[in-house]
Structure 1
């Protein structure tokens, strides 16, 4: 990326729907946990592809199931993904995921194990994955303006230095990118507890603030209904405590540093939205 951000560009892959990614993955995406082994077998057969196993996709219903679908479709639609092979235990849900990803225009093919069996599914999916990988390897990067860059931040293993060093450094980058219309994402619902009012003050409009507080309060209500005592067993984490943090409020003040000093909260997204 060039230093003058007013004319800065980055090198990426422009996808069929116009969005730009900085990676070029061919992913093997299981619809459910029963398809994990087949997906991993395909990725093992075709080095350079990436399987994304997970423990979900069965005995789910209602909003939980819809969240599952949105998550898988969103993963396939990500501009860092060039093409997708979807494998599920049956055709119905598999096709739903395929159709959702296909809306972006990118290459995607689905296979149902019940219709073909494990071995034939792996064989056929491997053939398609190989073709997709060859195709993706021939794609060329192009320069794109910073306004088309999406940056998402997520911390890990916070300690006493995070709020003083690493997180403010990320926030400084956000402050430099924000005036140039880059899309900057911050997802820390559980880890801003005690500092949520500081984020609310940064919301651009009353409507955005109301939606932010709705999302945060919804999380808090869930905790209140199901907690055994408090958040002490999960927030701060054991690793946070070993690193010197003592309370979730202390952790929150460090986490919030990642959104910089100048950025406003322009919108709020739900899970997998």
Structure 2
């Protein structure tokens, strides 16, 4: 394997980043416009903005806050400026980021007397954070990497081309001691037995099955039928949800499944980890980034442009038509698998070569084009409350 080390940015918590991004984090949606303006005024700064943030309760508030804190302490984050409407929330989120050792400051719009003053002060504080924290480059083994796996806009070729090549990469990374995160809970239903057979312990097996059952019960609670495919999947030639799920699971390779974690949680184990997070692309790459993924491998069948603003997202396709008509958004074309001109090992070599280039600073297509977005999932607290009362082992799994 040629990609065995990378030179990155050393952090005080011992992790190493492949980007050195100053982040401006809005703790609530009424600060999103100001957050974007502050980030836009400082070269290289990235705004972290999402809907909601005020008036949330229970698990919604917990997940929202945890996601923001995890981005503020992400290995690709150099320093963070937290922006809030009032000082209590801004200071609370900033204090949690500070506990991780990442440089952080905060401002509140009310305390600054409006957005004009807050903009000027925010730019001053963000530049001061950058100046006070010079770059420290360190060489790290590939075992320090955390890599997220995603597929979207799947077609009939996804499972036998791009996802299969990603599976070879996942096995190589797992063998090297890196961490690989498979997610998208809806995308494994019908193929969960494949992952169950790979579970490294009874506890991991039980947590995975509980996560699947919770997802199925939630669908019943909402009166949903999980069988129909999406229109783009049907147009892409997929026949059943089971076919789609088998292809989706394939991108995790064949290595043991060592852990099951909740939405946006940081893995504690290495190797293959499953995250219980929703399948829609933007929501899922948000969760993978919150988990600390240095980069995300995203295979797309019919085409999906979205990437993560903090975790560089490599777009892969194994579909010849998509490789041509969606070329501006594709980083890695492995469609020669379909014609027999490329085997899975050669495709995996190509993916890992581009991972190496990305770790060295090459911008992905979504980074260059600005096709990045965050969307923090909402939790149905009413359903979780009912589930905790009736099936606590399922409600608390992961």
TM-score (normalised: structure 2) = 0.64
For 2:177, the equivalent position in structure 1 comes to 181
Partner of 2:51: 55
Tell me, in whole angstroms, the C-alpha distance in 1 between the residues paired with 2:154 and 2:17.
Answer: 28
The equivalent of 2:129 in structure 1 is 132
Once the 2 structures are TM-superposed, how far is the Cα of residue 141 of structure 1 from its aligned partner?
Answer: 2.7
* Ranges in structure 2 where 5+ consecutive residues have no aligned partner: 266-398
Is 1:245 paired with 2:238?
Answer: yes
Partner of 1:92: 88
Q: Distance in 2 between matches of 1:111 and 1:223?
A: 41
Structure 1 CA distance for aligned equivalents of residues 72 and 11 of structure 2: 12
How many equivalent pairs are there?
A: 264
- Which secondary structure state, in structure 2, belongs to the residue aligned with residue 268 of structure 1? strand
| Pairwise CA distance, 1:215 | 1.7
Q: Is the 8 A contact 1:11 1:144 kept in 2?
A: yes
- TM alignment of 1:1-20, pairs within 5 A: 3=2, 8-20=4-16
Counterpart Cα distance in 2 of 1:170 and 1:101: 33
Query: Is the counterpart of residue 200 in structure 1 residue 196 in structure 2?
Result: yes
C-alpha displacement of 1:171: 0.7
CA–CA distance in structure 1, aligned partners of residues 213 and 127 of structure 2:
46
| 1:74 shift after superposition | 1.0
CA contact (8 A) 1:48 1:133 kept: no
CA distance in 2, matches of 1:248, 1:97: 40
User: How far has the Cα of 1:135 moved from its partner?
Assistant: 5.3
* Maintained 8 Å contact 1:215/1:270: no
Instruction: Determine the C-alpha separation between the residues in 2 that align with 1:212 and 1:190.
Output: 12
Alpha-carbon distance in structure 2 between the residues aligned to 1:121 and 1:216 = 45
Deviation readout 1:140-196 (Å, 9 max, x if unpaired): 432101221111111121111110111111110111111221111111211111111
Q: What is the SS of the residue equivalent to 1:98?
A: helix
After superposition, residues 111-190 of structure 1 pair within 5 angstroms as 111-116=107-112, 117-134=114-131, 138-190=134-186
Deviation of the 1:237 alpha carbon: 2.5
User: 1:258 aligns to what?
Assistant: 251
Q: CA deviation at 1:246?
A: 2.6
Residue 172 of structure 2: SS of its match in structure 1? Answer: helix
Q: Which residue of 1 aligns with 2:277?
A: none
- Selected match of 1:220 from 216, 235, 238: 216
The reply on whether 1:231 has 2:226 as its aligned counterpart is: yes
Could you tell me how far apart the structure 1 residues matched to 2:84 and 2:246 are?
Answer: 42
Aligned partners of 1:154 and 1:186 also within 8 Å: yes
Confirm or deny: 8 A CA contact 1:90 1:112 kept in the other structure.
yes
SS in 2 for 1:85: strand
Maintained 8 Å contact 1:71/1:272:
yes
1:44 CA displacement = 1.8
